[in-house]
Structure 1
Amino acid sequence: MLSPSSSSRLPAHVALLMLAVIVFTSFYPFSDWSYSGRPLFEFLFYPLPYYFRLFDNLVNCLIYIPYGFALALVPRRHWLGWLWALAAAGATSFCVEFGQQFLPTRVASNLDIAYNLAGAFAGATLAVSPFTVRAWRHVRDWRAEWFAAGAPADYAVALVVLWFVTQLNPSVPIFGVVVRPIGLPQPFVSPLDNPVLFLFLLEAGGAMLHLIALLLFVTCFLRHRRYTARAVGGVILLALLLKLLAAGALLKPFAFFEWFDLNVMAGLSSGFLLVWAITRLGRITQTLCALLALVASQMVVAIWPLRANTQDMLGLFRWGYGHLENMGALVEFLSHLWPWAAGVCLLASLLRELRRPRSGHP
């Protein structure tokens, strides 16, 4: 049994994932780089408030709260973690604002740095507070009880959190890997005589493979098989709740159930049956099946013949288009990144299992 006091790299993994999110959202679309010729550090001395937009400022604060929280939990000493979080978050914010000077669609601002530091301060202070210290001890106990020991399992927990971020776009069907476009029909070449059946098989099959890959990704890192049903049920319920909340917050009323697709639901029903059968097998078999499902789901994405029109999809939302484009790009980027990161994690776990002595293990 893993000791509850055992060290965990989970905060470091979460901090790295948050850093990737911050960098992507700050520099997207990574094009049209240029230098205006103005002094490079001029933005640090702009009179406050400079370029004040309430929504942007709130986002700048909120996105650094989990970043500061995770950074503060990396060192073992609480006071050192608090200082480290502020220093690392401050350096991140400065580098981001400095780099934004070279993007014509971005504005480098000292006010953004102030809001970033305020968010990091709140997150780091929350992380080292007595209440959170006690709560984090319970989280470590839960992690030690539910998941296998070792860095791959820490990485896996962080990737499961990242997967939920990929579901924040409510116009994409739950567990869907492809999207039927809105608007005029698009011509495509079908290898089957029935093109409707071809699209159905890809849409349903992609969702089935996505479900199998995710659920097996979770179950193959569990310490005991008795946790399988609760882990599967928890992931499904959280994903459903997240889609409902995202749809209520982002979509126009007529598009509230855009994330619900009958073809996808048919694929998910088949996926549940396969997951139930595969989880009866050993950990190595589950890991191999998860890897195969990941690869197959990406093949579905590669051969999907239709392309969604961004402007048509944005018409489903109630938010401003600029913020939605950034959010949509982030979710799409993470959706493409997740299978590769999960595949690396599964391969590391598989190698670990193959090297483990078979005698004396259940």
Structure 2
Amino acid sequence: MPDAISSSTLTRLMRLGAALLYLLLIGYGSLYPFSGWRAPLNGSLAFLSAPWPRHITRTDLITNLLAYLPLGYLLASWLRQYLPRWRAALWAILAAALFSLLMEWAQTFLPGRIAATLDIAANAAGAMLGVLLYRLLQGSKWPGRLLPGWRGRWLAAGLWSNFGLLVLALWGLSQLSLDVPSLVAGNLKTHFVPFWELPGDGYRFHPLQVLIFGAEGALASLLIASLMRHPPRQFAGWAGIFGFVLVCKLLAAALLLKGWVLPRLLSVEMMSGMVLAVLLIIWARREPAGLHTQLLALLLTLAGVLQFLLHSSAMRTFSGGSGAVPLNITALAAWVALVWPLLVLMLLWLRPLAGAHRAP
């Protein structure tokens, strides 16, 4: 009985901690860079009566929906421990909408930010989708009834595996970033061209981004393999995992970008990065959670930090020393992309400790 009680308490704390952590991430992405605060000319609540923007960009709409979807899921998961199902669902949507209202109100005090009721509506809709997803995945419904059996067959059990799935979900969120180390790195209009349109001379190759593309694709694949009950040994299994990673990347790009830009993803950097990812997977596949994968996570962390510093220096030069100010929630995805390799590294370091605690 004490073990069951402690396990229940730990589950509640984990769900609450995940919801609070995600609230902090959204707050950071919504209010970055936390400088230049000033009182709005028309009052801080004037945006509530302002008309909706004449032009609605697909990128802003999709990122707002997807950014608040996990929040709705996490809030519903936590509240369901204390409230009936429909009350938990309603309170989760209401809490997410109120938090979105708070973020929009705070943005009225920041230059370069535009508060809009459309963003609140999109965020609330995203939270509602998250709540619906939570309801669908419950054991009393389909496909929720299939998940425990599917997970038992394919994925390792235990707290370590749950943390790994959360880290994997954060990797999915990072793909909404338009900066490295996501797939859509840099300025696709000027810096990257399809490999079949390479100019005869004057093309500037980006080796650092090749390294980031390759290391990130390999690390995501190895993370998935490390969470599996029986890591793949055959080529077909690894090809399926790596194909899943690429599909996630291309799907995120298709959601965020216009169709005419998508062919630029097949640049020399991207194709070289895919080859590098395959080589790195071959190098580390014998032990997906072993030392090789840890070194790969450390390498990606250092490369991502270097790219971030170079990008920040360039943006400060072009913007007169002010730096780049992200104008939407993709800033959250960019920061998640930057810290994601560190979370993988922590996960891999903690795995031997978890195994030691399970041993008699």
Structure 2: 5+ residue stretches without partners: 1-6, 192-205, 317-323
- Identity in percent: 26
Query: Within the alignment, does 1:134 sit opposite 2:142 as a pair?
Result: yes
Distance change >3 Å, CA 355–CA 134, structure 1 → 2: same
Amino acid in structure 1 at the alignment position of 2:97 = G
Partner of 1:291: 294
TM-score by length of 2: 0.67
Partner of 2:106: 99
Aligned match for 2:270, one of 239, 261, 269: 261
1:336: how far off?
A: 0.9
Query: Within the alignment, does 1:274 sit opposite 2:283 as a pair?
Result: yes
Aligned pair count reads 320
Query: Within the alignment, does 1:31 sit opposite 2:35 as a pair?
Result: yes
Q: Deviations over 1:146-202 (max 9, x none)?
A: 32233331121122122133334578687799999967xxxxxxxxxxxxxxx85x6
CA distance in 2: counterparts of 1:20 and 1:167, whole angstroms: 19
Distance change >3 Å, CA 245–CA 62, structure 1 → 2: closer
Q: SS of 2:49's equivalent?
A: coil
Q: SS of 1:220's equivalent?
A: helix
Partner of 2:219: 213
1:85–1:124 Cα contact (<8 Å) kept? yes
Distance change >3 Å, CA 266–CA 173, structure 1 → 2: farther
CA distance in 1: counterparts of 2:133 and 2:242, whole angstroms: 29
Aligned Cα root-mean-square deviation (Å):
4.6
Partner of 1:282: none
CA distance in 2: counterparts of 1:337 and 1:119, whole angstroms: 24
1:33: how far off?
A: 1.8
Partner of 1:355: 357
Q: Deviations over 1:275-304 (max 9, x none)?
A: 33335xxxxxx3443222211333344567
Aligned match for 1:332, one of 319, 331, 334: 334
Structure 1: 5+ residue stretches without partners: 1-5, 184-198, 280-285, 312-321
2:164–2:227 Cα contact (<8 Å) kept? yes
Partner of 1:238: 244
TM-score by length of 1: 0.67
Amino acid in structure 2 at the alignment position of 1:270 = L
1:163–1:338 Cα contact (<8 Å) kept? yes
Aligned match for 1:158, one of 160, 166, 179: 166
Q: SS of 1:278's equivalent?
A: coil
Does 51-60 or 328-337 show the bigger shift?
A: 51-60
Amino acid in structure 1 at the alignment position of 2:175 = Q
Partner of 1:224: 230
1:333: how far off?
A: 1.6
Partner of 2:49: 47
